[in-house]
Amino acid sequence: MKTGKRTGIGKWLGVLGALALTLALIAPWNPAPGPSPLPTSAHAGFFDDDLEVFEEVLDLVAGNYVYPPDYKTLFESSIQGMIAKAPEKTLTVTDVYSGQVLKHNNTRLSYRLSFSRHENMGAFRSVYYFLANEYQGQLKKKDIEQAAIIGLMSSLDPYSLYMDKSDFERSMRDTEGQYGGVGMVITLQDLKLTVVRTLKNSPAERAGILPKDIISQVDGQTVEGMQINELAERLRGYPNTKVQIQVFRPSTSSTKEITLTREIISIETVEYKNMGDGVGYLSINSFSKQTNDQLQVALNLALEEGITAFIMDLRNNPGGLLSQSVKVASHFLNKGELIVYTRGRDRNDMQTYQALYKNTLTHLPLVVLINKQSASASEIVAGSLKDSGKALILGETSYGKGSVQTIFRMSDGSGLRLTTSKYYTPSGIDINQHGITPEILVEKDLPENGNSNARREAKGPKKESGSRARNLATHLKEAELIDYLKQKGYTITGSTDPLVEFAKLVVRDIQHPSKSHALAKARELANDIHY
């Protein structure tokens, strides 16, 4: 991976910390073309390390960001980040042409910015040392530097960000799809940290912890006033380490001290359910390193049960690893079919990803469900299956997050998530601009004019235009699906998912796996609903 030229002492060693894990934006998060080691960046090791991490970040942005760097904007944001760290009302800031004048007590500093990285670095250093000297004892140099990095990253796209060491470790752990923990799902109920459930065969389950138990202490410290994420951090840790918790059980008004030994807890990202009539339901809630393995287990079970058609639910799936999205889509495509391609700053910087497997499930009908919160890796899967003609897409137009982030590890253990490329569906759709548009649009709200003719003639979301919009076949309302299901004798309860039931009606009697057959069936059902 390319890195920019270093300007500071010791920076000639280069950034060794490009962590070749590229996420198809989290979340959330996101993915590299293939596996590679995870070295840390080189540390200068002599003189001082002032601004070393800042320059590492600047090099990475200069060399790898999906768009050419605007050095004036980058340094403006960095300097404003540092200035914001100064104690309130102690620093006077006066705007001048292309820069500012800073005044603290009787000390003044003026600086100007240009479009030159070298010139701006000099101005930036002046501001950094001005603040470090003027607020000595009040501001630490590392805190000023971190504020500058956060400011720099804020000038980029919303998916690029800096992570301190703890946030970076948490991000990597979540991407792995497993962590050292005790296996409890916790919520904040009546200002009390309350157990919702324990995971099967987890340390918490084996210790007898029950739903509605209240966590009152961790390792002898009260958790009163603590947020869920703070408690989660205390409960998590390296496998085979111990954590002591105090649990209050309201049903018996009893308190108990429990010592738990942390274990690797796998995060279940795939749910399978046999819906009957030969239809299997697959829900994928994110794309972690465990997702494809979990999907393979679910598919094997489904085939053993005689499933002849699938519903894949990607609603509310924020994304995850690009590599996993490619593997998931590969189960339903012919080997070698294009799934997605990425393009970086240089238009020649292009990489394609094809389906990986032989003997796949292309002979079985497939419906994919998406909504406004289906993003990133979810859109890769839905887009490839739509463009290939292998699946019918139902639901809402997806989020529209079509950029790829690469994770970099800094020399101090912090990390950077940087947008390095954009991805496109096989037909060339820029997901950032359009999202994935379903063939059957099912929304919770009526169009503004509210009449059924408008629904049938709808051209799709405003961000779709031209032939893509004209290809949108049908526009339905969720309430209409519910009414239709009631007419067909369904018992509607709070747990009934009308879109899943509609998808089942579409796929259960189809004998041919092509999207055209599923779309014809869906249109037939939609006409029944409208009339």
- CATH number for position 262: 2.30.42.10
What is the number of alpha carbons within 13 Å of residue 59 lying toward its C-beta? 25
Are 400 and 280 members of one domain? yes
Residue at 170 is within a domain = no
Residue at 327 is within a domain = yes
Higher-confidence position of 20 and 110: 110
Cβ pair 336, 355 in contact under 8 A: yes
Residue at 1 is within a domain = no
Q: What is the mean pLDDT of residues 292-318?
A: 96
- Cα 87 from Cα 108, distance rounded (Å): 17
Domain boundary among 162, 197, 226: 162
In this predicted model, what pLDDT tens digit does every residue of 193-225 receive, in sequence order? 899 888 888 999 999 999 999 999 999 999 988
pLDDT number for residue 335: 96
In this predicted model, what pLDDT tens digit does every residue of 56-107 receive, in sequence order? 999 999 999 999 999 999 999 999 999 999 987 889 999 988 789 999 999 9
In this predicted model, what pLDDT tens digit does every residue of 228-243 receive, in sequence order? 878 888 898 888 999 9
pLDDT number for residue 233: 80
Angle of CA points 423, 428, 431, to nearest 5°: 50
Are 46 and 102 members of one domain? yes
Residue at 173 is within a domain = no
pLDDT number for residue 527: 66
Domain boundary among 229, 250, 266: 266
Tokens coding 324: 């996993």
Residue at 4 is within a domain = no
pLDDT number for residue 437: 93
Q: Residue 350 pLDDT > 80, yes or no?
A: yes
Cβ pair 209, 230 in contact under 8 A: no
Are 148 and 192 members of one domain? no
DSSP secondary structure code for residue 476 in this structure? E
State which of 40-44, 190-194, 310-314 shows the largest mean pLDDT: 310-314
Are 344 and 470 members of one domain? yes
Residue at 87 is within a domain = yes
Number of domains in the chain: 3
- Cα 376 from Cα 321, distance rounded (Å): 9
Residue at 172 is within a domain = no
Are 20 and 100 members of one domain? yes
- Cα 284 from Cα 70, distance rounded (Å): 39
Residue at 169 is within a domain = no
- Cα 51 from Cα 414, distance rounded (Å): 14
Domain boundary among 128, 162, 196: 162
Confidence of residue 519 (pLDDT cuts 50, 70, 90): low
Q: What is the mean pLDDT of residues 462-485?
A: 63
Are 288 and 338 members of one domain? yes
13-45 residues labelled b (16+ CB within 10 A) or e (exposed): eebebbbbbbbbbbbbbbbbeeeeeeeebbbbe
Are 382 and 290 members of one domain? yes
Are 369 and 429 members of one domain? yes
Are 383 and 511 members of one domain? yes
Candidate from 2-6, 45-49, 449-453, 496-500 with smallest mean pLDDT: 2-6
**Residues above pLDDT 90, as percent of the chain:** 56
pLDDT number for residue 178: 63
Confidence of residue 515 (pLDDT cuts 50, 70, 90): low
Check residue 436 and give left, alpha or beta (phi > 0: left; psi -120 to 50: alpha): beta
Tokens coding 154: 């804020």
Q: Which CATH number characterizes residue 291's domain? A: 3.90.226.10
Are 261 and 327 members of one domain? no
- The helix or strand, by DSSP H or E, that contains position 333, with its residue range, turns out to be none
Q: Catalytic site residues?
A: 376, 387, 401
Identify the domain containing residue 481 by its residue range.
Answer: 270-415+424-526
pLDDT number for residue 144: 96
In this predicted model, what pLDDT tens digit does every residue of 358-388 receive, in sequence order? 999 999 999 999 999 899 999 999 999 999 9
Three-state SS letters, 398-414: CCCCCEEEEEEECCCCC
Are 35 and 102 members of one domain? yes
Tokens coding 104: 């603290």
Tokens coding 180: 């050292």
Confidence of residue 156 (pLDDT cuts 50, 70, 90): very high
Q: What is the mean pLDDT of residues 8-19?
A: 35
In this predicted model, what pLDDT tens digit does every residue of 480-512 receive, in sequence order? 888 888 888 888 887 889 999 989 988 887 766
Q: C-alpha distances in angstroms, 315 versus 23, 329, 369, 395, 500?
A: 19, 16, 6, 8, 11
Are 136 and 257 members of one domain? no
474-477 and 440-443 as β-strands: parallel, antiparallel, unpaired? Answer: parallel
Q: What is the mean pLDDT of residues 290-317?
A: 96
pLDDT number for residue 201: 85
